[in-house]
Structure 1
Amino acid sequence: MKDRICVGAITGSFGVKGEARVKSFCADPAAIGDYGPLSTEDGSRSFTLKITRPVKTGFAVRLSGVTNKEQADGLRGTRLYAPREALPGLPDDEFYHADLIGLTVLDTGGTDHGKVHAVHNHGAGDLLELRPEGQKGGVLVPFTRDIVPTVDLTSGRIIIDPPDGLFDDPESSA
């Protein structure tokens, strides 16, 4: 999957003439239409996408091969992927979420805190979901320069300076 990046998702139909509603994950949301044909996660289908107008939480789009409301509704939840080479290069301090997933996370003292399982953004900034070895559930770490001073894609690791208490076991303080 490192050769493709998720750039958006189909959230359902828009109207009755086969348009779909798409949520863009791009830094410039309207750029989702600029990356050529987009494919499904498994690569079994690909679509050319033409934005017809902005709508609440995304865009109304025409997808190649989708001609009616039922087809558009059937694609609800489908993630759309662009080839990495079609996407713009990033400055040194920016990363595609796909590049962070799977990296080992160490704190500034060298303690291993697991691997990045996912990257979330609920509107207030990115959060790294870590899955520490031998621990139930994950830990969310704010992806800020203060807390995550180093991302080394070459060595496959992230160095964090977590705030006090982030990795404390809540059951041990009970």
Structure 2
Amino acid sequence: MNQHVFVSFDLETTGLKPYLGDRIIEIAAIPIFNGKIKRKYEFHTLVNPNIKIPAEVSQFHKLNNKDIENAPTISEVFPKFKEYISDTILVSHNIKMDMMFLDLAAKESGVLPVENYYIDTLEIAKELLDEGPYSLEYLAKKFNIYVGKSHRAYEDALMTAKLFLLFINKFGIRSLRDFIKKWRG
């Protein structure tokens, strides 16, 4: 597993229901190789969803309609993101939610969906830690890897990368191998 490139990623969206109209408004991804975060090769962009961001959602991640009005659309961003993550193992906290959004982004972009292997730090936390809560923000603060801001894609991707490396150091890379799964949309 040390020879694999892992990519910690996170999305911000207009809500939590992709199949009821919510869309991606920010994507951030940070590679991890040989036990190190490689920020030099990160991927980060805002996305114009061509719909309005609800005010209650803006309060959560602090992104508003003005922030994304000149951003590229998902049809422009998704093919580049898919190429960026090719042949990597994706890492995210509560990854299934993000992957559902990526499935929809693929469909809207006319591109084949993501079929990467993935590992979910939330699943690892629930299985291997003695007690919760298991939110990314709580775990980041508990393990002193909080970056001073959460609920933005870049900061959450960075905290997830740090949490993943912490889990590798705490539990060993071999014990995490069982958590790797293949996304099939």
Which structure has greater helix proportion? Answer: 2
- Determine if the TM-score, normalized by the shorter chain, exceeds 0.5: no
Q: Give the structure, 1 or 2, with the largest relative contact order (CA under 8 Å, sep 6 or more).
A: 2
Which protein has the larger Cα radius of gyration, Structure 1 or Structure 2? Answer: 1
Which structure has greater strand proportion? Answer: 1
